[in-house]
Amino acid sequence: MAAIEQEILEWVSKLDAEKQRRVLEFVRSLGLPQGIPGDDFAARARQVNFDPADLEEMKQAIENGCERIEPVEGDIDLFA
């Protein structure tokens, strides 16, 4: 076993079950595809031909939805 693997095992074995689970989730996430760079995504998005009327409708929906303030009941702890 490589020295790095051995050290990882030593550290992980000292953690409680919940922290070991979090380490496992993190390690698994390292093997997941990371998507595409933002510039590539933007270039692909520019290639899509949206109907101008649909774009206007989306724009209006975003603007209308973002300009509302909905009341919140109860106390809010912003630092919780």
pLDDT tens track for 59-70: 888 888 776 667
User: By C-alpha distance, which of 9, 33, 6 is closest to 23?
Assistant: 9
What would the two tokens of residue 28 be?
């698994």
For Cα atoms 47, 52, 53, give the angle at the middle one, nearest 5 degrees. Answer: 140
What pLDDT, on a 0 to 100 scale, did the predictor assign at position 41?
86
- From residue 63, give the alpha-carbon distance in Å to each of 55, 60, 71, 77, 80: 12, 5, 19, 28, 30
Identify the pLDDT of residue 71: 73
pLDDT above 70 covers a percentage of the chain that reads 91
Nearest to 44 by CA among 32, 36, 52: 36
